[in-house]
A and B are shown apart, each in its own frame.
Chain A
């Protein structure tokens, strides 16, 4: 039963992917099967969170090969929670409606690709093997490449090309790092690596491979100075797809950083992590400054992803249990909030016919529901109490105070103010300003229920805000496992290796 539960987030998207491919080819609409599959993953993830929360980390050996020789799938609390929120976001995006403005010759194929993406994301969260992580990353990337350029607008193709080339270069770095580790210590199993790397007394080796993997994951997570692909590509995809990317893809990079740099490349194993903190602080500042200068609604939001990723990675660099718990809570909160903002941005663009917020106006009057769906996540992102962003930032900054990282504290607060400023900018321009001369024609949106999607995410944000204690306690529990990796190592390798 447990085995079935662990493998479900990988198996279900795979089955749905194949089924919807067949249905698409024979001219039927795979929409319902696709939505049903995602809901099944969501239910399995809910069960997984409860199971892991009560019974501890679950593992499964692929094909019965004993770790560290075979590939092992590990569901700890962090992985389970990430799968849960990923499935939730995919479900919401499907409800919102997948069709964009451009012409799309194969609308059914979007479902195939989204399940490919979900497969890659869930696989990356669950795997306990470094090379296997590379493979799941590629599964996720190839699906996202095609989703990005699917409508074949010229700007989409150009942005897609930038995205593809920079991500392929990052994948090459990843493979180099994985290869060098195997060459030195002869294992790819993460838990085994954590044990064996501690026995290697070779700081040059540990730091080079660590840096290669850091560059790879930092590119996926869009950290400074590897973020250039993100504000060139995300806002050019169709609204639902860019919301999906904004919610999930960079956070898989953050997850990989969290996993590798709390389990394998730790200070105890001889990796000097000080640089991560400085890189993340630069990311926070650059991202928010980019956002302040923008007038393209979804591009502005894309710059915010970068700045928020900076907060999360700064928490990883601080590395105390409180900081790690805050990072996990921050990631969950950010996925919900960011996806919702991108969904609102998509509706704004569709209703007004332009992404330029200077030409928007009057949406508070003409569409109050949309205004509420913008205001809740926007204030949460800016860190206004009692919304979820406030709790996330509060805990993160408190971890900074406890570790006496004063520069981080100062930057964190200043960037918070600028974040709020740029959210207020969208609010003023799109919602509060008088509508331009003649107003907008009431354009019909795409098929789907965009408002239901946004309301679901707002509800999730409010849950994170008002049931914050429950979620934060789960995050603390997950962080305790990460901070003291012995239970993870024991779950994967068995007690005798300790």
Chain B
């Protein structure tokens, strides 16, 4: 499972980096979202009980073997909620930029009127 997750995280980050290096608004948005998903999966991978002592005890106080650590899942939920809000905001911002400029090329965004 951890191998699959690692490969998936790698693929997502590769895709995200590729998209973030493009000039189109939409690609940038997709890149940011892919990166968010990659990070969430990375967090999920850290809940696997491989490197630490067990996280959960049963009611006799004996450790539950193979129980996943629930805390990273709480972190992921928080990250998903924040990521969702920010994605929506970025979408609105990108739409406003697109409507004002009539194109979705970000090349001119750093250009100044006063040099």
Q: Which residues in A have some Cβ–Cβ distance to B below 8 Å? A: 131, 135, 138, 141-142, 145-146, 149, 152, 154-155, 157-162, 164-165, 168-169, 172, 175-176, 178-180, 182-186, 228, 232, 295-296, 299, 354-356
Q: Check if A169 sits within 8 Å of B79, measured CB to CB.
A: no
Neighbouring B residues of A356 by C-beta, 8 Å: 114
Q: Check if A142 sits within 8 Å of B110, measured CB to CB.
A: no
B114 CB to closest chain A CB (Å) equals 4
Alpha-carbon distance A164/B110, docked complex (angstroms):
14
* A–B complex contacts, Cβ < 8 Å, 30 sampled: A138-B82, A138-B86, A149-B93, A154-B100, A157-B97, A157-B100, A158-B101, A158-B108, A158-B109, A160-B93, A161-B25, A161-B90, A161-B93, A161-B94, A162-B106, A164-B86, A164-B93, A168-B32, A169-B35, A172-B36, A172-B38, A175-B79, A179-B75, A182-B71, A182-B72, A232-B109, A296-B112, A296-B115, A299-B112, A299-B114
Q: Check if B106 sits within 8 Å of A161, measured CB to CB.
A: yes
B16 CB to closest chain A CB (Å) equals 8
- Least CB separation from A146: chain B residue: B89
Q: Tell me whether B67 is interfacial, beta carbon within 8 Å.
A: no
B44 CB to closest chain A CB (Å) equals 9
Q: Check if A164 sits within 8 Å of B90, measured CB to CB.
A: yes
The answer, among A135, A146, A169, for a CB contact under 8 Å with B82, is A135
Neighbouring B residues of A172 by C-beta, 8 Å: 32, 35-36, 38-39
Neighbouring B residues of A183 by C-beta, 8 Å: 45-47, 51, 72
**Residue among B78, B82, B101 with the highest chain A CB neighbour number at 10 A:** B82
Q: Tell me whether B58 is interfacial, beta carbon within 8 Å.
A: no
Neighbouring B residues of A142 by C-beta, 8 Å: 85-86, 89
Q: Which 3 residue pairs are nearest across A and B when measured between Cβ atoms?
A: A183-B46, A158-B109, A179-B43
- Least CB separation from A154: chain B residue: B100
A184 and B82 in contact, given A145-B89, A157-B96, A165-B90 (Cβ under 8 angstroms): no
Q: How many residues of B contact A (CB 8 A)?
A: 41
A64 CB to closest chain B CB (Å) equals 18
A182 and B46 in contact, given A169-B32, A169-B35 (Cβ under 8 angstroms): yes
Q: Tell me whether B52 is interfacial, beta carbon within 8 Å.
A: yes
B73 CB to closest chain A CB (Å) equals 12
Neighbouring B residues of A186 by C-beta, 8 Å: 52-53, 69
A120 CB to closest chain B CB (Å) equals 12
- Least CB separation from A293: chain B residue: B115
A336 CB to closest chain B CB (Å) equals 27
Alpha-carbon distance A370/B18, docked complex (angstroms):
48
Q: Check if A155 sits within 8 Å of B51, measured CB to CB.
A: no
**Residue among B45, B86, B106, B114 with the highest chain A CB neighbour number at 10 A:** B114
Neighbouring B residues of A184 by C-beta, 8 Å: 51-52
Q: Check if A179 sits within 8 Å of B46, measured CB to CB.
A: yes
Q: Check if B79 sits within 8 Å of A161, measured CB to CB.
A: no
Neighbouring A residues of B86 by C-beta, 8 Å: 138, 141-142, 164, 168
**Residue among A152, A175, A232 with the highest chain B CB neighbour number at 10 A:** A175
Neighbouring A residues of B101 by C-beta, 8 Å: 154, 158
Neighbouring A residues of B113 by C-beta, 8 Å: 155
Q: Check if B42 sits within 8 Å of A161, measured CB to CB.
A: no
Q: Check if B43 sits within 8 Å of A175, measured CB to CB.
A: yes
Neighbouring A residues of B85 by C-beta, 8 Å: 142
Within B48-89, the residues touching A (CB, 8 Å) are 51-53, 69, 71-72, 75, 78-79, 82, 85-86, 89
Neighbouring B residues of A146 by C-beta, 8 Å: 89
Alpha-carbon distance A464/B49, docked complex (angstroms):
52
A165 and B28 in contact, given A155-B113, A172-B39, A176-B42 (Cβ under 8 angstroms): yes
Alpha-carbon distance A155/B101, docked complex (angstroms):
10
A138 CB to closest chain B CB (Å) equals 5
Q: Check if A162 sits within 8 Å of B75, measured CB to CB.
A: no
Neighbouring B residues of A355 by C-beta, 8 Å: 114
- Least CB separation from A164: chain B residue: B90
Alpha-carbon distance A228/B109, docked complex (angstroms):
12
B61 CB to closest chain A CB (Å) equals 17
Within B22-37, the residues touching A (CB, 8 Å) are 25, 28, 32, 35-36
Alpha-carbon distance A135/B78, docked complex (angstroms):
8
Q: Check if B114 sits within 8 Å of A354, measured CB to CB.
A: yes
